[in-house]
Protein backbone atom coordinates (compact mmCIF):
# COMPACT_ATOMS: atom_id res chain seq x y z
CA UNK A 1 0.00 0.00 0.00
CA UNK A 2 1.28 3.48 -0.85
CA UNK A 3 2.24 5.95 1.87
CA UNK A 4 -0.55 8.45 2.67
CA UNK A 5 0.23 12.09 3.44
CA UNK A 6 -1.39 14.94 5.28
CA UNK A 7 -3.10 17.23 2.77
CA UNK A 8 -5.03 20.49 3.00
CA UNK A 9 -7.36 21.26 0.09
CA UNK A 10 -5.63 18.52 -1.91
CA UNK A 11 -2.16 20.06 -1.39
CA UNK A 12 0.38 17.60 0.03
CA UNK A 13 2.14 19.05 3.07
CA UNK A 14 5.57 18.40 4.54
CA UNK A 15 5.53 15.56 7.06
CA UNK A 16 4.95 16.94 10.59
CA UNK A 17 7.57 16.45 13.29
CA UNK A 18 7.68 13.12 15.12
CA UNK A 19 5.82 14.77 18.01
CA UNK A 20 3.92 17.09 15.68
CA UNK A 21 0.64 15.21 15.24
CA UNK A 22 -1.36 15.12 18.45
CA UNK A 23 -5.05 14.43 18.92
CA UNK A 24 -7.55 15.91 21.35
CA UNK A 25 -11.16 14.75 21.49
CA UNK A 26 -13.80 16.77 23.33
CA UNK A 27 -17.24 15.42 24.15
CA UNK A 28 -20.16 17.80 24.62
CA UNK A 29 -23.07 16.77 26.82
CA UNK A 30 -26.66 18.03 27.05
CA UNK A 31 -27.53 20.89 29.41
CA UNK A 32 -29.35 18.53 31.75
CA UNK A 33 -26.20 16.45 32.33
CA UNK A 34 -25.14 17.02 35.94
CA UNK A 35 -24.18 15.41 39.21
CA UNK A 36 -26.90 14.80 41.74
CA UNK A 37 -26.40 15.50 45.45
CA UNK A 38 -25.14 11.95 45.96
CA UNK A 39 -22.32 12.84 43.49
CA UNK A 40 -23.51 10.43 40.80
CA UNK A 41 -23.06 11.81 37.29
CA UNK A 42 -26.05 11.65 34.96
CA UNK A 43 -24.51 12.33 31.59
CA UNK A 44 -26.08 12.46 28.14
CA UNK A 45 -23.35 12.91 25.51
CA UNK A 46 -24.38 14.77 22.34
CA UNK A 47 -21.22 14.03 20.39
CA UNK A 48 -17.48 14.50 20.17
CA UNK A 49 -15.25 16.72 18.06
CA UNK A 50 -11.61 15.96 17.27
CA UNK A 51 -8.84 18.49 17.01
CA UNK A 52 -5.31 17.88 15.86
CA UNK A 53 -2.21 19.72 17.03
CA UNK A 54 0.24 20.02 14.14
CA UNK A 55 3.89 21.05 14.30
CA UNK A 56 6.71 21.33 11.77
CA UNK A 57 10.34 22.33 12.38
CA UNK A 58 12.98 23.89 10.14
CA UNK A 59 10.76 24.89 7.23
CA UNK A 60 11.62 27.06 4.28
CA UNK A 61 9.67 30.28 3.79
CA UNK A 62 7.99 28.64 0.78
CA UNK A 63 6.82 25.65 2.84
CA UNK A 64 5.38 27.94 5.51
CA UNK A 65 3.62 30.03 2.88
CA UNK A 66 2.21 26.87 1.25
CA UNK A 67 0.77 25.60 4.53
CA UNK A 68 -0.59 28.94 5.75
CA UNK A 69 -2.20 29.78 2.41
CA UNK A 70 -4.42 26.71 2.81
CA UNK A 71 -5.70 27.41 6.33
CA UNK A 72 -5.12 30.96 7.60
CA UNK A 73 -8.32 33.06 7.81
CA UNK A 74 -10.38 30.33 6.13
CA UNK A 75 -13.83 29.52 7.54
CA UNK A 76 -13.06 25.88 6.69
CA UNK A 77 -10.76 23.73 4.57
CA UNK A 78 -10.60 20.10 3.54
CA UNK A 79 -8.01 17.92 5.27
CA UNK A 80 -6.79 14.45 4.38
CA UNK A 81 -5.63 13.12 7.73
CA UNK A 82 -5.16 10.02 9.86
CA UNK A 83 -8.25 9.54 12.03
CA UNK A 84 -7.43 7.79 15.29
CA UNK A 85 -11.04 6.76 15.97
CA UNK A 86 -11.32 4.68 12.81
CA UNK A 87 -7.55 4.05 12.37
CA UNK A 88 -7.89 5.08 8.71
CA UNK A 89 -6.98 8.01 6.49
CA UNK A 90 -10.03 10.21 5.90
CA UNK A 91 -11.13 13.50 4.38
CA UNK A 92 -13.12 16.01 6.44
CA UNK A 93 -13.59 19.75 6.90
CA UNK A 94 -11.68 21.63 9.62
CA UNK A 95 -10.84 25.17 10.69
CA UNK A 96 -7.50 26.32 12.11
CA UNK A 97 -6.64 28.19 15.33
CA UNK A 98 -3.75 29.23 17.58
CA UNK A 99 -0.85 29.72 15.18
CA UNK A 100 2.72 29.87 16.53
CA UNK A 101 5.59 30.76 14.20
CA UNK A 102 9.20 31.06 15.34
CA UNK A 103 11.74 32.41 12.83
CA UNK A 104 15.27 31.02 12.91
CA UNK A 105 16.95 32.98 10.13
CA UNK A 106 15.84 36.25 8.55
CA UNK A 107 18.90 36.86 6.38
CA UNK A 108 17.90 37.87 2.87
CA UNK A 109 17.28 34.87 0.58
CA UNK A 110 18.01 32.51 3.49
CA UNK A 111 14.80 32.87 5.51
CA UNK A 112 13.86 29.73 7.43
CA UNK A 113 11.25 29.08 10.09
CA UNK A 114 12.33 27.22 13.21
CA UNK A 115 8.82 26.05 14.06
CA UNK A 116 5.26 26.36 12.79
CA UNK A 117 2.43 24.96 14.88
CA UNK A 118 -1.34 25.31 15.03
CA UNK A 119 -4.51 23.36 15.78
CA UNK A 120 -7.14 22.16 13.36
CA UNK A 121 -10.63 21.51 14.71
CA UNK A 122 -13.26 19.36 13.04
CA UNK A 123 -16.35 21.08 11.70
CA UNK A 124 -18.53 17.98 12.20
CA UNK A 125 -18.60 15.51 15.09
CA UNK A 126 -16.56 12.33 14.82
Report CA 105 to chain centroid distance, whole Å.
Answer: 26
Q: What is the mean pLDDT of the chain?
A: 94
Query: What are all long-range contacts of 70-76, with beta carbons under 8 Å and residues at least 24 apart?
Result: 70/8, 70/9, 70/11, 71/8, 71/95, 71/96, 71/118, 71/120, 72/96, 72/99, 76/123
The band of 35, judged by pLDDT with boundaries at 50, 70 and 90, is very high
Residue ranges making up the domain that contains 101: 7-30+42-122
- Three-state DSSP class for residue 20: coil
pLDDT in tens, 4-25: 999 999 999 999 999 999 999 9
Instruction: Answer yes or no: are the C-beta atoms of 91 and 76 closer than 8 Å.
Output: no
The percentage of residues in the chain with a pLDDT greater than 90, rounded to a whole number, is 90
* 37 within a domain of the structure (yes/no): no
Q: Residue 54: inside a domain, yes or no?
A: yes
Strand partners, 35: 41
Domain count across the chain: 1
- Does residue 62 form part of some domain? yes
Evaluate whether residue 98 is within a structural domain. Answer: yes
Flag whether 2 is in a domain.
no
Q: Confirm whether 113 is domain-assigned.
A: yes
Q: In this model, does residue 105 exceed pLDDT 90? A: no
> Would residue 1 count as lying in a domain?
no
Assess whether pLDDT exceeds 80 at residue 1: no
| DSSP reduced 3-state for 44 | coil
Residue 36, in any domain of the structure = no
What pLDDT shows up at residue 28?
Answer: 94
Amino acid sequence: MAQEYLKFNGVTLPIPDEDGYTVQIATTSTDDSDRTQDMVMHNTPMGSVASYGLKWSDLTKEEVSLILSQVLDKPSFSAHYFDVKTATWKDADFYATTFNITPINLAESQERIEELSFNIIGIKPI
